[in-house]
């Protein structure tokens, strides 16, 4: 049975880094050597999830994956946009010790230097009791316990079994604008109460709330994904780095279309009045066995 990458489901980490790389050297042997060296030097108590853009994965593996694609820029009907910054290689590093997470992040960059160029790297953390910087609990709708595995992983009997499609998207918040609103209005935008994180019901739940737009179904099936987002922030910029693991990219696509108003109802997510997507890319996190096979020289 193929083994999923362990870091996908680690839930007690509180320090994170996501780094995205562009390929600058097409020598397959060098590519495999540089990535393999990272896998051989992982630190204790630090987890690394590695995923590949479609083009790089096709260079390394003959495994064909249904529905695997690059992310394309999305234009919303109501003036919003989600840009594509599709990259080739993605690393998510997580752990409980900020020093160890940083050390591993640096080791990765040094091992890839000359073969890949880092184009985005963001550090994050757990904010208070797992809240976004808006003050609302993040990830409340995540599937619980055993339900997270079928949401995140390709079925074992399919190509790429126990691998996962990954979506990365960086959001920049306008917290000053958001925080000027009364809490009652903020709750209508999110779709949950701020303090207790209780989902609004009935007429209290606006159709343009974030919960309403991302709680998607298709042919009666809930489009659940496994969210592993984290907040980031400094005096310069604050926001959320959205990460989704899914058995099928369509589950992410339908949520993004609903946020943008690109569905029949034409309703867009009000959260985009206060937060702007500045990156976006799909990748594939293969099982441990497929990863080792792809990197074999």
- Which sequence positions are flagged as catalytic? 138
According to DSSP, residue 192 is labeled B
Spatial distance between the Cα atoms of 155 and 75, rounded to a whole number of angstroms: 32
Spatial distance between the Cα atoms of 201 and 236, rounded to a whole number of angstroms: 37
Cα torsion at 242, 244, 249, 254 (round to 10°)? -60
Dihedral sign (CA 188, 191, 196, 197): negative
The pairs formed by 257-262 with CB atoms below 8 angstroms and a separation of 24 or more are 257/74, 258/213, 258/214, 258/216, 259/76, 259/80, 259/210, 259/213, 259/214, 260/74, 260/75, 260/76, 260/77, 260/78, 260/80, 260/82, 261/76, 261/77, 261/78, 261/80, 262/74, 262/76, 262/77
Separation in Å, CA 152 to CA 42, 51, 84: 24, 14, 22
Residue 88 in tokens: 């080739």
Residues 6+ apart with CB under 8 A from 95: 13, 15, 45, 46, 47, 101, 104
């Amino acid at each position: 049975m193929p083994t999923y990458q362990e870091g996908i489901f680690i839930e007690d980490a509180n320090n994170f880094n996501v780094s995205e790389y562009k390929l600058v050297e097409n020598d397959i042997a060098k590519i495999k050597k540089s990535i393999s060296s990272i896998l051989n030097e992982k630190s204790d108590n630090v987890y690394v999830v590695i995923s590949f853009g479609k083009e790089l994965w096709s260079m390394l593996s003959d495994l064909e994956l249904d529905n695997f694609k690059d992310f394309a820029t999305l234009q919303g009907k109501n003036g919003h946009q989600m840009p594509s910054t599709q990259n080739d290689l993605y690393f998510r590093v997580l752990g409980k010790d900020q020093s160890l997470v940083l050390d591993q992040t640096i080791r990765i960059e040094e091992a890839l230097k000359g073969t890949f160029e880092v184009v985005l790297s963001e550090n994050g953390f757990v904010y208070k009791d797992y809240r976004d910087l808006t003050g609302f609990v993040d990830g409340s709708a995540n599937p619980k316990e055993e339900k997270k595995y079928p949401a995140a992983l390709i079925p074992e009997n399919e190509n790429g079994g126990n691998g996962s499609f990954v979506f990365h998207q960086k959001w920049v918040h306008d917290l000053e604008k958001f925080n000027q609103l009364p809490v009652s209005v903020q709750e209508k935008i999110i779709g949950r109460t701020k303090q207790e994180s209780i989902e609004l019901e009935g007429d209290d739940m606006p159709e343009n709330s974030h919960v309403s737009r991302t709680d998607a179904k298709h042919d009666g099936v809930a489009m659940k994904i496994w969210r592993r987002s984290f907040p980031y922030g400094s005096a310069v910029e604050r926001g959320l780095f959205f990460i989704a693991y899914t058995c099928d990219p369509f589950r992410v696509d339908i949520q993004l279309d609903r946020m943008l108003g690109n569905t029949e109802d034409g309703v867009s997510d009000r959260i985009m009045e206060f937060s702007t997507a500045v990156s976006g890319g799909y990748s594939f996190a293969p099982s441990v066995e497929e990863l080792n096979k792809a990197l074999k020289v």
